[in-house]
Amino acid sequence: MVTKKSESTDSKPDHSLNDLLLRGRVSAPAIEKELPSGDTVVEF
């Protein structure tokens, strides 16, 4: 998970991250992949 530290002192929410809540069953285990940028994504 990547977290960003806000440089400003504004109390505005940071909407640059996408949060996802999954509920249910999948037929295969999740696969983590690292992107060339160094970020990690999960494939279901």
**Amino acid 7: pLDDT:** 56
**Amino acid 33: pLDDT:** 95
pTM over cut 0.75: no
Place of tokens 């809540």: 21
Condensed to tens digits (0 to 9), the pLDDT of residues 4-36 reads 555 555 677 776 777 878 788 888 898 999 999
Q: Which amino acid is at 16?
A: S
Q: Is 12 exposed, middle or buried (0-12, 13-18, 19+ CB in 10 A)?
A: exposed
